[in-house]
Amino acid sequence: MGRRAALRFCTCFLPERQRGPAAGTFYGGHGIVGAQVPLGVGLGFAHKYRASDRISVTYFGDGAANQGQVFEAFNMAALWQLPVLFVIENNQYAMGTSVERSAAVSDLHERGAAFGIPGGRVDGMDVAAVLQATEEAVAGLRAGNGTAAAGNDDLPLRGHSMSDPAKYRSREEVSKMRKERDAIEQARQPCSTAAMPTRTR
Ligand SMILES: Cc1ncc(C[n+]2csc(CCOP(=O)(O)OP(=O)(O)O)c2C)c(N)n1
Ligand SMILES: [Mg+2]
């Protein structure tokens, strides 16, 4: 499992940790960039239609954030006040394209503003900050506060795939990032001193 996927996996299991084994369901990813966003909104619709207290947590990247279907999904989620948390993982690159080259406004956590969706920026390399922000957003959604968006600023420690030579970044930038910002390394210490939450079963 990749390191960012590991963080995603942690937050996916948040509902389960809070409310018992049947609550958290991981629906996987999507080969078409951004296509998971309307699906996530559909899940949110189902939760509301069934009067369930479940919520849908929908993850997508900075590149996906420029897709038209994402804005349509925002509109429907906000219009129907669906319990959806949009997590925009801004790792600064979509394959080799930097967010500055692809987004007119690169503060992606503000993307929902036109739809009345509140958003906030979180340091995606800080596991505890992600957990806390997720818990707060989930509590708000469960209290019936409609739809929310979070922008996780994180950093790519590797290229997009094995065939990506990552020529768009310097070696120095990558090695500095790995040394100073690796989320797993930063979380290791508090985990080993039991400062992180643990599961009981
Ligand atoms: C509609 C579509 N266009 C292009 C691709 C090829 N593609 C796969 S991943 C990717 C970049 C996605 O970037 P981002 O949303 O920032 O996610 P990240 O990989 O950085 O997590 C692209 C363009 C695709 N899968 N689907
Ligand atoms: Mg990206």
Write out pLDDT tens, residues 144-182.
888 888 888 888 888 888 888 888 888 898 888 888 888
CA of 23 to the centre of ligand 2 (A): 29
- Over range 65-92, report the average pLDDT: 96
The tens digit of pLDDT for each residue in 120-149 reads 999 999 989 999 999 999 999 999 888 888
How far is residue 9's CA from residue 18's CA, in Å, rounded to a whole number?
15
* Residue 121 CA: distances (Å) to CA of 89, 133, 163: 10, 9, 31
Tell me what pLDDT residue 137 has: 93
The verdict on whether 181 is a catalytic residue reads: no
| Entry pTM | 0.85
For all residues of the chain together, what is the average pLDDT?
A: 85
56-61 vs 84-90, strand pairing mode: parallel
Question: Is 47 a residue of the active site?
Answer: no
Pocket test for ligand 1, best of 4, 32, 91, 95 (most atoms within 8 A of CB): 95
Kindly report the protein residue whose alpha carbon is nearest to atom 4 of ligand 1.
Answer: 33
- Given this model, what pLDDT does residue 7 score? 52
Domain 3-192 in CATH 3.40.640.10:
no
C-alpha 85/C-alpha 55 separation (Å) is 8
* Ligand 1 and 126: CB distance under 6 A: no
Q: Using the predicted structure, report yes or no on whether residue 200 has a pLDDT greater than 80.
A: no
Say if ligand 1 is within 6 A of residue 99 CB.
Answer: no
d(CA 139, CA 62): 25
